[in-house]
Structure 1
Amino acid sequence: MLPAGEPKFRRRKADRPGEIVEAAMQVFAEKGFAAARLDDIAARAGVSKGGLYLYFDTKDDIFRAVVEQAIAPNVQLARAMLAAHPGPFPDLIRALAAHVGGVIQTTSIGGVAKMVIGEARNFPELARIWHDRLVGPMLDTLAGVIAAAQARGEVRPGDPRAYALQLVAPLLVGVIWRETFAPVGAPAFDLPALIAQHVDTYLGGIAP
């Protein structure tokens, strides 16, 4: 452990890329991609701007690292949970919802997701990375689980991919509300309660 008052830049070099990624995730969530400056990220991480360049060449590289190191592991864990759980389907969906809710509540992923949605037109590479590494694989895995549940007679006939999107969509709306409207005075939603109510409604709707 560092002595009290020890500056971050005195830590082992091996720690610094992770600290930069965590700082960048927070800065992206707060400021967006266009407005985020490398100076902001370096200051939040406790390194010099020159020190930041020892690990990352561009802001795009830092965003990729945020996706790969700070967000993708949560998605991989959720996909592994889906793959390892044979059923019953309602139990699996409730466990998945609890996992996703925990990630949303304890990380800056909601702010980064809002950033990607808001700035994708000007920075399409953000959306491409987000889709290819996170959204696409997760949606495919979830659709496969739903198709398997349909084969077991636990889910009514229908497009599994559409059912997967129906499960995710209200969660995304809740996150966007929290990140966009609540800060300007709109009544906030209790996200865990919203997720629980949505899951109950969803499971009732797709039951045979």
Structure 2
Amino acid sequence: MTEAKTPAESRREARKEQRRLDIVDAALTVFARDGFALSKMDTVAEQAGISKGTLYLYFDSKEALFEGMVREKMLPTLEKLQSELVATPDASAEDMLRMQMRFFYRNVLNTERRHIMRLIMAEGPQFPHIAQFYYENVMSRGKALFKGIIEHGIRTGEFRTVEGHGLMKIAMAGGLVAALWKTIFDTFEPIDLEAYCETHIDVLLNGLKA
């Protein structure tokens, strides 16, 4: 039987967790501004308002910090999406696809999380280990959710069979373009992500419907 924590222990754990979250937020700010290759742990520590030694108590390398940032910023978002899809088992495949796409645009592309996608696209070739980590922990899970919706639609007759047509990559490509545009070109030609999302959904559904 586990002993109950004292109030003092609970407060210490809460402070430790908050500091970890502050570090992750600082890392995202620094990585997004300076890029992964040029970012320094000293700069992240300064951004977080802590010493470099304290930072290393939480993350022992820049790669570990990046992985921690991905876990904190992306994985809970995926888990929330999965929970919402599970909570609507009787929804049509079309409604589930609309839900997933809108969730992705609103909770990833329209937030600071899009900078993580940009980092992977820009620096993944130079740092294949972080690209692999992102693929295995984020992209593969998102693909699995999307694939489940498509297979459900095929079983119910809503969607035609599209095996072997690169659908997953085509579906993701629209989101990657939106992330790049929002991050790089939005100052010159603003993108309406809500409208873009609806167009993306319509294009997919028009290609999928039986």
Note whether the superposition's TM-score is higher than 0.5: yes
CA distance in 2, matches of 1:145, 1:160: 16
- Once the two structures are superposed, residues 19-54 of structure 1 have per-residue CA deviations (whole angstroms, 9 ceiling, x without a partner) of 101111222122210111112211221212121112
> Which stretch of structure 1 is more off in the superposition, 39-48 or 56-65?
39-48
CA distance in 1, matches of 2:30, 2:111: 12
1:115 aligns with 2:119: yes
8 Å CA contact retained: 1:82, 1:145: no
Give the gaps of 5 or more residues in structure 2. Answer: 1-13
Q: Which amino acid aligns with 2:58?
A: Y
Query: Cα–Cα, structure 1 residues 44 and 106, in superposed 2: closer, same or farther, change >3 Å?
Result: farther
Alpha-carbon deviation of 1:12?
2.7
User: Aligned pair count?
Assistant: 196
Alpha-carbon deviation of 1:107?
2.9
Which residue of structure 2 lines up, in the alignment, with residue 154 of structure 1? 158
Instruction: Give the alignment partner of residue 27 of structure 1, picking from 27, 30, 37.
Output: 30
Secondary structure at the counterpart of residue 12 of structure 1: helix
CA distance in 1, matches of 2:46, 2:110: 22
Q: Which amino acid aligns with 1:118?
A: A
Which residue of structure 2 lines up, in the alignment, with residue 70 of structure 1? 73
Q: Which amino acid aligns with 1:25?
A: L
1:85 aligns with 2:53: no
CA distance in 2, matches of 1:175, 1:106: 8
8 Å CA contact retained: 1:83, 1:145: no
**Root-mean-square deviation (CA), in Å?**
2.0
1:164 aligns with 2:168: yes
Q: Which amino acid aligns with 2:196?
A: L
> Which stretch of structure 1 is more off in the superposition, 64-73 or 156-165?
156-165
> Which stretch of structure 1 is more off in the superposition, 14-23 or 103-112?
103-112
Give the gaps of 5 or more residues in structure 1. Answer: 1-10
Q: Which amino acid aligns with 2:118?
A: K
CA distance in 2, matches of 1:150, 1:21: 40
Query: Cα–Cα, structure 1 residues 161 and 107, in superposed 2: closer, same or farther, change >3 Å?
Result: farther
1:47 aligns with 2:50: yes
